C-alpha cells in the first residue's frame, strides 16, 4: 500500500491549494507516496500576519489529529510554518513545514541563503522564526515582492 502524505494549505484560498497540487505532479511516481492536498477551510484567505498564524494553529492541529489514522506524514504548505510545533504534538508521524525544510535544505547547498517574502510586513515575523531556528547569521537577505497571497493565487 502506498504511503499517504497530507499536504495542507493553511489558508482558505482553493486556488493556492490547486497550485500546490499541480507543483507536486512531478513527484507523483508509480509506487511512490500519494500526495493529497487539502485547504484548511477555517483559515484566512492568506497567512500574512501573526494573528493569521496564531488563528490556524487549533484547526490545523485538529485536522492533523483527525487524519492521523490514514496518513503517513503531513506537510504544512505555508512559509510561516503555522502550527508546526503544535502539529508535532498531536501525531507521532512526521510533520514538515516548508519554511523549516527550505532553510535547512538551502544550508546544505551553500553558506548563506535568502528569502523572497510576499509582503514587507511578513519579514519581521519571518526573522523571529529564523532567529528561533538559530540561522540568522546565515541569512543573506529577505526581500518582499509586495503582493497579497490572493494576488499571487490569481497570477497562477
E strands of the chain, at which residues? 4-9, 34-39, 73-76, 95-97, 113-117, 139-144
500500500: which residue's cell? Answer: 1
| pLDDT for res 58 | 98
Q: Containing domain of residue 65, as a range?
A: 4-98
Do 124 and 93 lie in one domain? The reply is no
**What pLDDT digit, counting tens, does each position of 17-47 carry?**
999 999 999 999 999 999 999 999 999 999 9
* In a shared domain, residues 31 and 73: yes
Give every residue of the chain whose pLDDT is below 70, as ranges: 1, 153-156
Q: Global pTM? A: 0.92
Residue indicated by cell numbers 535544505: 105
Q: What is the CATH number of the domain that holds 47?
A: 3.40.50.12500
Amino acid at each position: 500500500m502506498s504511503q499517504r502524505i497530507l499536504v495542507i494549505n493553511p489558508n482558505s484560498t482553493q486556488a493556492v491549494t490547486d497550485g500546490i497540487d499541480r507543483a507536486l505532479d512531478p513527484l507523483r511516481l508509480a509506487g511512490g507516496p500519494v500526495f493529497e492536498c487539502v485547504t484548511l477551510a477555517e483559515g484566512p484567505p492568506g497567512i500574512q500576519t501573526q494573528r493569521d498564524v496564531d488563528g490556524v494553529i487549533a484547526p490545523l492541529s485538529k485536522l492533523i489529529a483527525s487524519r492521523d489514522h490514514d496518513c503517513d506524514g503531513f506537510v504544512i504548505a505555508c512559509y510561516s510554518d503555522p502550527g508546526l510545533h503544535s502539529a508535532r504534538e498531536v501525531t507521532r508521524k512526521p510533520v514538515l513545514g516548508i519554511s523549516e525544510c527550505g532553510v535547512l535544505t538551502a544550508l546544505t547547498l551553500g553558506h548563506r541563503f535568502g528569502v523572497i517574502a510576499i509582503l514587507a510586513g511578513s519579514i519581521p515575523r519571518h526573522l523571529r522564526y529564523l532567529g528561533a531556528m538559530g540561522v540568522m547569521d546565515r541569512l543573506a537577505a529577505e526581500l518582499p515582492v509586495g503582493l497579497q497571497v490572493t494576488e499571487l493565487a490569481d497570477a497562477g
